[in-house]
Amino acid sequence: MSIVHISSFSSLPFGGVSASAILNNFTPHGLDPGGFTALALAVLVANLPQLLFSTLYFMYNRLLTSMLAMDEWSRFAYRSATLRVSYPSRSQRSTYWLHLPYTYSIPLLITTTMMHWFVAQSFFLARVQIYDADGNPYQELPGTSFDPILSTPGYSPKGIIASIALGSSMLLFLVGLGLRRYKGGIPLIGNNSLAVSAACHPPADDNDPAHSKVMWGAITPEYGTIPGHCCLTSKPVTPPLVDNWYAGLGKVIYRPV
Amino acid sequence: MRTPNGLEYLDNAGCIEDYSVDFLTGRRNLLLVTNSTTVLYPNGTRVIEGTVFGMLNSTTWNTRLNGEYTWNPDGWVCGGSNNFGVTSTWSNRVMTNGVCSLSKAIAQAADLEFYFWDENEFPSRYSVPLAIEYCLSQSTPELCQLGFTVYIMIIVILCNIAKVASMVCSFWVLIDEPLVVIGDALSSFLEAPDINTKGCCLMEARDDISIRNSQGRIWQFKRHYWFYAATPFSIVRCFIWFV
């Protein structure tokens, strides 16, 4: 790899081909630099960063999804609402957004599009044809057996710096978001189906909670019933009391320590 | 100004600027013109009466393919070959800490000086300085082709077809109550409560599921970080991937 001197940095193009910023001697020894194998290899290497970023996008999206799904769930502790499902029936709400609300998904979409563009400007395929003093394409360089068409990955330091800057701000945003705190007052069930099911034990007289406005909290206990019970239900609920004992609806033998 | 034979007049500064690009795309051969047809040597003899004093081959790629060093886009105003190139007087003026400065070269372009060694006339290889007056450049139409590879295009088209097919499949074929958003799971469990989790009403995602029991637990008010919603593994993996 050739070294770009710092004084010449400002003159380098953003994403353009520059002789001082391409991988020299990229083509493995014995392979024709103008041939298809060299081209395919250069295409793969030049686009590898795109694949890496796409993988990162899935991981990033997954973290945002987990955090925002719990934000959506947390709200059931403070207001009653109908469920938001993929195929709504009756009073259920539709998934206007799939897993990220528009306030997150649209900026994320714009950022990742820009990031893909920056990465494309950072690493690209450079294909150069050399002409001789008479203006004819060189068929073969004197003294060598190489075809003087060169397929090699090129890079743009400005593009790389832009990519790193944007990538770092995405990471900072994630850290900032992760260090927010939920409002509390509800168990964080996450994407754990066991915990999700544990929160869904409405009382027997709750009529079709899946299609009603529901809220999470402690249901009013029948007289003398210990312990209490918390669930997602369309019945009236109150916030659970600190240091109080909550379990199921049936009889319980002993109080947990 | 266009000269009759198709060469374009460039002053020294324009010549240095135009020919110091990485890939020369709009110009081809360059003539550096001097008015020194007569040079007096130390012994007083009149030696030079010629038209062409030296030349450099512009095939930069020779260097890259381990060929002979000839001409370099970012170095010709500060160097040269054994027989022809800028004088050391000139290169000392335009180099800063061993780095060739294009802006310095352009600023002092009027004083551009080349030397050549006339081996035939002078076995001692006396270096003859030649002041450059102006340049003549051969302009050429810029050539830029659309690169097109059928094999890669076929691969891309096949990948796109596979992608569209998967999208159509997931949209039209997988229609039996998918669990996509958390509301889907809540709706499903509200309609058919799971007997296994009866009594565990305060269970959280990160609880140890092996100790679940129907005795329930004591409620404590906690405000978790948003990171708590994701598994530590997925957070660590995402951070590593960023780096």
Is 70 exceeded by the pLDDT of residue B211?
A: no
Give A122's pLDDT tier (boundaries 50, 70, 90). confident
- Phi/psi at B2 (5° precision): -115, 125
Residue recorded with tokens 């990742």:
A112
Q: Quick one: closest CA in B to A55, which residue?
A: B241
Between B125 and B28, the higher pLDDT residue: B28
What confidence tens digit (pLDDT) does each residue in A156-202 have?
888 888 999 999 999 899 889 889 888 888 888 877 888 888 888 88
Residues 6+ apart with CB under 8 A from B212: A194, A198, B197, B200, B203
Is 80 exceeded by the pLDDT of residue A132?
A: no
- Classify the C-alpha dihedral B219-B222-B226-B228 as positive or negative: negative
Highest mean pLDDT among A8-22, A53-67, B126-140, B191-205: A53-67
What confidence tens digit (pLDDT) does each residue in B134-144 have?
888 888 887 77
What pLDDT is stored for residue A86 in this prediction? Answer: 80
How many distinct helices (H) and strands (E) make up chain B?
7, 8
Interface confidence (ipTM) of the complex: 0.73
Q: What percent of chain A has pLDDT over 90?
A: 8
Give A107's pLDDT tier (boundaries 50, 70, 90). very high
Average pLDDT over residues B188-194: 85
What pLDDT is stored for residue A5 in this prediction? Answer: 41
B46 touches chain A (CB under 8 A): no
The region of weakest confidence among A160-174, B89-103, B122-136 is B122-136
Closest CB from B190, B222, B225 relative to A210: B190
Test mutation, A32, A63, A65, A146, chain B, max B CBs within 10 A = A63
Q: What percent of chain B has pLDDT over 90?
A: 6
Highest mean pLDDT among A68-72, A114-118, A123-127, B228-232: A114-118
What pLDDT is stored for residue B62 in this prediction? Answer: 44
Highest mean pLDDT among A108-112, A230-234, A247-251: A108-112
Q: How many angstroms from the chain centroid is the CA of residue A45? A: 23
Highest mean pLDDT among B44-53, B111-120, B207-216: B111-120
Is 80 exceeded by the pLDDT of residue A54?
A: yes
What pLDDT is stored for residue A12 in this prediction? Answer: 57
Residue B70, both tokens: 């000839």
Is 50 exceeded by the pLDDT of residue A7?
A: no
B195 touches chain A (CB under 8 A): no
What pLDDT is stored for residue B160 in this prediction? Answer: 97
The region of weakest confidence among B62-76, B136-150, B171-185 is B62-76
Q: Quick one: closest CA in B to A168, which residue?
A: B242
What pLDDT is stored for residue A115 in this prediction? Answer: 92
The CA distance from B19 to B32, in Å, is 12
Contact between chains at B237 and A84 (C-beta distance less than 8 A): no
Highest mean pLDDT among B60-69, B103-112, B119-128: B103-112
Between A117 and A100, the higher pLDDT residue: A117
B230 touches chain A (CB under 8 A): yes
Task: State the nearest Cα–Cα gap between A106 and chain B, in angstroms.
Answer: 18
- Phi/psi at B201 (5° precision): -70, -15
What confidence tens digit (pLDDT) does each residue in B17-74 have?
888 876 777 888 888 888 776 665 555 555 556 666 666 665 554 444 444 445 566 6
What pLDDT is stored for residue B157 in this prediction? Answer: 96
Which residues of chain A form beta strands (DSSP E)?
Answer: 84-85, 93-94, 123-129, 149-155, 215-219, 228-233, 237-238, 245-247
